[in-house]
Structures are given as C-alpha cells and as structure tokens.
Amino acid sequence: MIKKFTYGKPIQTEAVVKELTPESSRLPYFDVRDNAEGEHTCSLVYPMKEEDIVYGLGESVRGINKRGFLYKSKCNDDPVHQESTNSLYGAHNFIIISGSVCFGLFVDFPGEVVWDIGYTSLHELVITPCEPDFDLYLIEGADEKAIAKEFRQLTGRSYIAPKWAFGYAQSRWSYMNAEEVREVVKEHRENGIPLDSVVMDIDYMERYKDFTINEAAFPKFAEFVEEMARQGIHLVPIIDAGVKREEGYDVYEEGLQNHYFCKKEDGSNFVAGVWPGKVCFPDMLNDDARRWFGRKYKLLLDQGIEGFWNDMNEPAIFYSEDHLKEVFEELGKMKDRELDIYEFFHFKDLVLGVANNDQDYASFYHDYKGETIRHDRVHNLYGYYMTRSAAEAFEELVPDKRILLYSRASYIGMHRYGGIWTGDNMSWWSHLLMNIRMMPSLNMCGFLYTGADLGGFGADTTEDLVLRWLAFGIFTPIMRNHSALGTRRQEAYRFESKKIMADIISIRYALLPYLYSEYMKAALEDGMMFRPLAFDYREDTFARRVEDQLLCGDSIMLTPVYEQNAKGRYVYLPEDMKLVRMKSADTYETEVLPKGHHYIDIALDEVVFFIRKNKCLPLAKGAQCIGELDFADLKLLGYVTEKAEYDYYMDDGYSKDYDNPAYRMKFEMERQAVTL
C-alpha cells in the first residue's frame, strides 16, 4: 500500500509513473520537525529501535545496513571517494526500514537531501530535504521484497539492456586509435578471453566534441564498426554532457541559436571548463533541448553503434568561467604578500574549490516545464534527463531494437531509461567490498543494469585484486574492466595469470543463461536480482547481520572474497546449501554443506557460489562472445532434495516484445534426475 504526502509545492521530477492523491492525514511513524526559524525547511524524524535495519539509498558508501552515517543525495563527481564521502554519483532517495515495523519511504525531491541515519544521534533517523517542497511516498507491505516491488511499480519498469551487453566489456581511458582497439580484441581472442565489447573513452572524439569522430585516429569509422562486429565485438562510445564552445561546430551552433543551453541570470550562456575546454550545458530539462540533444546520437547509430555511456552528467564542472576569474583576482591580491599559514590554507581552498563548486551550481538556470529554475534546486535531475534524452531518441529512431545505455549520474526515474555504472572507484579492496554491498540497494531503487569498474578505475591495480574482482563481476549485469589514464594496464591479458582470468571470465558465459534470465525476470516483474540475505531469510537473526554475501537471482548465493591474501572466507549458510566450486566454464565440483557457519577455502583461480535448497540453474558451455553461446545446449545444476523448478526466460536479446509467452519455459529437476 502506497500513500503520498505532499509538502509545499514540489517541483515535479517524473520519478513516479502512477498518479496518487495526496493524503490529508499526517505522515505516520515520523515526527515532522521544523528547523531553525527563517529557514523554512523541515526534517522528518524517526526513532530507530535497536533491531531496525535501514536498507537503501542506492549508490552510496558503507554497508548494506545504512545506519551510523550521514549521507547526502547530491550527484557528485568524486573520483577518490572513500568511507567518509557523503555523496556519490547518483541520488537515490529510497529506504526501507526493517524491524518491529517494516516500511519504505521515497523522498521525491530533486535538490539535496540529507540523510542522518544515526549519525548525530545513534538511534535517530533524520531526513532533511533542503527545501520545504517535496513529495513523500510511504510504502507498507508484507516484507522487504513486497515493499521494494511496490516501489518499483510506482516508479516504472527498469531499463532493459540488449543481451550482448551482458558479455564482458573491456575499457580504458582511452584506447587512442583503431589500431589499439584491434590489438585489444586480438589479445583477447588469441588468449581465449571472452569479449563482447570495447568501450571507447573520450579520445575517439575530435578534441572531445560530442558526436564527432577523430578521423585521423579512427578513419572510416563505419567500416571499423563493421570490422569489429564481424569479430563479435560492439564498440561503445562515451558521450559527455558539456558541448564544446567552438564556432562552426554544428552541435554548439545549433544549441546557441535555439537557446538550448543553460543560462545565467543575465541571460547569457553559462560557460564551464570540462574536457573539451570551454563548454555549454544543454538544458536537458527542457523538452525541446532534450529532444534535440537525443537526436544527435543518430550520427553514431547510423555508423552501426548500438551502445553508449553518458559521462560527466552530474554535471561535473572543472571550473566555471566566472568563478575562475574571481579566484584569479583573489590570488592576484595574495601574490606578492607574505601569507601566514591561514592565508595559505585559504589560497589552497580557493584553488581546490574551483571544481564542482556549489556557487557555480547556483549560478545557472533551466527552463523546465515553463519555469525558470535555478540549477541547484534540480541538480539531481541533470544526468537523469540527459539519459532520458538519449533513450527517448532511440525509441523514436530505432523503436524495435534495444540500445545499450548507461549513465554516471542518476536519480530514481532514470532507471526506466538506462543503467548506471558506479563511477570512478579506486583499485582498492575496500571498493570491491563497496561494489558488493551496493548491488542490492541499487536494485531496490530500480537500477538493475549496473556494475562497477572491475579491477578499479583510479590507482594502480594488483593482479590478485583483478582476479577477485572479476570473480565477483561475472555476476553483475555490467561486467566491465575499466581503468584511468596513467594507471597500470589491467586488461586480463596483461597479467601472468591470463589463463586463469580467461577461465574466470568464461564462467560468466556459462552462467549467462541463468544471469540473463534472472535479470529479465527482475526487470519484468519489478524484482531485485541482488538481495541481502535477510530479504529471503527474514526470521534468521544471523542472515540479518550478514553484510558481505548476496542472493543473486532465485537460485544462488554469492560469497565473494574481498580481502588481499585471503585464502578463503567465513560464510554463513541460512539453510543447507550446495557449494559449487568452478575452475572454468566446464570444470566444477560440488559439495552439500549444512546450515551454519563455515570457513570456505577459495583460491585465486576459483569462483565459488552456493545453490539454495531445491533450486537449480541452467548452465551453458562457455563461448568467446554472446553471439556464439549455445542457448540450446544447457544442463541443469541443482541442489535437489525433493524437487526444483526453474523459471527460465530467454529471448533474442534485441526485440522488445518482452511479455511474449514463448520466452518462458519451466525446467524441472527431481532428485538429481535431469529433465530439460
């Protein structure tokens, strides 16, 4: 049951797809506390009981249980984020409180929301949207899964990626030219490392101009796209939010003429510095500008491209033209003076504060639904509407085909238009753990097509980290190895253990019929592919405490290793389960283990997961790319004491008639006798 409560006059976000009449009664469970006089904001206060767990907040730091920290919903580009970072790239204002009572709460507000979840006071949850105008949706249901499902029905069906986009993707900032891309593909193929796509970072463009191609580096682009396609490879170019300010560049000129760019108070275009140099930001919130920008993707679609990633759309701002001027003036005044230490710190803050500056976010405007709205008030919608711009254009340009699309910034509602990768992580073990813990909360918020940069983006990775991260990444819908400019190369073939990497990656392909089927069912039935243990084993006290194991789909439980030099790990089994230890796509051992605590050895060259009781999953033979995977040659792997049934979903991976019953099949497994 969903109840809507409206405070003040909220700006519409279009996160919600159902119309509800706001309640006239008071919001239950919470106290509404007015904050300091004159501020006109209020906080929602909930007294947490000892046993309450708070799930949710999508893309954010820390645990599956979000208690004990302060989070801010504010799309933020922080490539060296860590445990103490309050905001990441997405803003996902949905939580489920689970304890003596169980309910969900969605705060639909496009500006900053502060979530103090037992930070100021251990047992108090205090939610503060930075303006007094917002919609609240309170969701009650039988359990966490039912609540999450209702929420997803409220916000609409999740984006569905094409099947090929479930293959392994290799990325790097940047592969500089066609030769380098060919080399990457060749190395994968020669070393038997499966691969479905190569991701093109900003250097494929001509001086970082959206919808251009650097002809010198990628001559005859359409032919190159085709050459790759013949090898089973999709190229996935990046699109940045900012449009280079350059006379004669058609995208800029058109935007200028039609007033499609975000403007300052005086009506002139807001100018920021990002990769292309000086840029203007298309007003993605404006219907006309959005339609215009979306249609630009056609240039690449026409050359055979079938997938994109949208970057820098928080939007990230290295500096603004105006603010930079001010900073230089301040610095000028300091130049020949002897600075005391505090003045020196001021100097440092000035310089470091140039990027993603709050003052800048409050200095440009959108033309949204006929109103002029200052950016900071709708900040969290920008990446959402950029991705929507592309998705709506695809719907119009290629209505019968799924196009791969994922974004860096996001807000709930964007999940209908594209997936997200979780932005710039680091090659840190703690970020592997963060990736694991984030999967359920992302799924809860509708982001099913998602994953982190495997191996870590920033900093030099290590071989064992890549192995362990791949061993987890084979389960996440986006399975992309990506790393930053200047860091150690981390393509699988660069390492001594490339044979092991090939085997681990090939396990992804063996499991793909299961993983794709589970993903599709989650998308079509508003379910969660990744769940905390406690969502399925509600009454189990230990399951409620587990922070580093996940249910993945209906049949299996994951117990990834995320610590360096670990030879294995402690695992909690909430019921008897069957351990599966895979060494490659077709080599595995199994063993039934009783409910309880175990220490499980897991070597660097293995993938371990557990099959739940009376569950099974289809297993394919490996392949070098999805196109070569034989979906007709499956075998069932199960743990059956009585009977197991598997609901299999399989389609061609391109078309959109998702609800066609021909895509559904039931597999049954009786006490180890296999019937297909």
- Which residues would be at the binding site for ligand MIG (CB under 6 A)? 173, 201-202, 238, 311-312, 408, 423-424, 482
Which residue has 């070597």 as its token pair?
Answer: 603
Closer CB to ligand MIG, 82 or 660, in the complex: 82
Q: Please report how close the Cβ of residue 487 comes to ligand MIG at its closest, in angstroms.
A: 10
Q: Please report how close the Cβ of residue 280 comes to ligand MIG at its closest, in angstroms.
A: 18
Q: Please report how close the Cβ of residue 490 comes to ligand MIG at its closest, in angstroms.
A: 13
Closer CB to ligand MIG, 29 or 173, in the complex: 173
Q: Please report how close the Cβ of residue 209 comes to ligand MIG at its closest, in angstroms.
A: 13
Q: Can you point out the beta strands (E) in 517-575? A: 530-531, 550-552, 556-558, 568-573
Q: Please report how close the Cβ of residue 200 comes to ligand MIG at its closest, in angstroms.
A: 10
Q: Please report how close the Cβ of residue 363 comes to ligand MIG at its closest, in angstroms.
A: 21
Closer CB to ligand MIG, 135 or 201, in the complex: 201
From the CB of residue 320, how many other CB atoms can be counted at a distance below 10 Å? Answer: 24
**DSSP character for 669?**
E
How is the beta sheet containing 450-451 ordered, strand by strand? 450-451, 419-421, 404-407, 307-311, 234-240, 197-200, 169-170, 480-481, 453-454
Q: Please report how close the Cβ of residue 16 comes to ligand MIG at its closest, in angstroms.
A: 28
Closer CB to ligand MIG, 105 or 409, in the complex: 409
Nearest residue to the partner ligand MIG, using Cβ: 173
From the CB of residue 322, how many other CB atoms can be counted at a distance below 10 Å? Answer: 16
Greatest CA separation for the chain: 85
Task: Please give the backbone phi and psi of residue 617, each rounded to the nearest 5 degrees, phi first.
Answer: -145, 150
Q: Please report how close the Cβ of residue 414 comes to ligand MIG at its closest, in angstroms.
A: 16
Q: Please report how close the Cβ of residue 242 comes to ligand MIG at its closest, in angstroms.
A: 11
For the chain, how many residues are written? 676
438, 547 Cβ separation under 8 angstroms = no
Please, what's the b/e burial string for 73-92 (b: 16 or more CB within 10 A of its CB; e: otherwise)? bbbbbbeebeeeebbbbbbb
Burial (CB count within 10 angstroms: exposed 0-12, middle 13-18, buried 19+), residue 532: buried
Closer CB to ligand MIG, 457 or 667, in the complex: 457
Q: Please report how close the Cβ of residue 441 comes to ligand MIG at its closest, in angstroms.
A: 20
- In order of 110, 146, 372, the CA distances from 473 in angstroms are 31, 27, 43
Amino acid at 413: G
First-to-last alpha carbon distance for the chain, in angstroms, is 39
Q: Please report how close the Cβ of residue 509 comes to ligand MIG at its closest, in angstroms.
A: 25
**CA dihedral over 657, 231, 604, 578, signed as positive or negative:** positive
- 307-311 and 404-407 as β-strands: parallel, antiparallel, unpaired? parallel
537, 543 Cβ separation under 8 angstroms = yes
Q: Please report how close the Cβ of residue 354 comes to ligand MIG at its closest, in angstroms.
A: 14
Q: Please report how close the Cβ of residue 442 comes to ligand MIG at its closest, in angstroms.
A: 16
Q: What is the DSSP string of 275-317?
A: TTEEEE-B-TTSHHHHHHHHHTTHHHHTTT--EEEEESTTT--
Closer CB to ligand MIG, 201 or 283, in the complex: 201
Closer CB to ligand MIG, 375 or 408, in the complex: 408
Closer CB to ligand MIG, 202 or 550, in the complex: 202
Cα angle value 239/241/246 (rounded, 5°): 95
Closer CB to ligand MIG, 239 or 608, in the complex: 239
254, 209 Cβ separation under 8 angstroms = no
3-state secondary structure of 150: helix
Here the tokens at position 609 are 């997961």
Here the tokens at position 352 are 């470091």
Cα 538 to Cα 99: distance, rounded to the nearest angstrom: 10
Here the tokens at position 301 are 């679609």
Closer CB to ligand MIG, 424 or 651, in the complex: 424
Closer CB to ligand MIG, 117 or 165, in the complex: 165
Output Rg (C-alpha) for the chain, integer angstroms: 25
Q: Please report how close the Cβ of residue 405 comes to ligand MIG at its closest, in angstroms.
A: 15
Closer CB to ligand MIG, 175 or 224, in the complex: 175
Closer CB to ligand MIG, 149 or 408, in the complex: 408
Closer CB to ligand MIG, 136 or 312, in the complex: 312
Cα 604 to Cα 242: distance, rounded to the nearest angstrom: 42
Q: Please report how close the Cβ of residue 90 comes to ligand MIG at its closest, in angstroms.
A: 13
Cα 486 to Cα 143: distance, rounded to the nearest angstrom: 47
Q: What share of the chain is helix, strand, coil (3-state, %, to 5)?
A: 30, 25, 45
Amino acid at 423: G
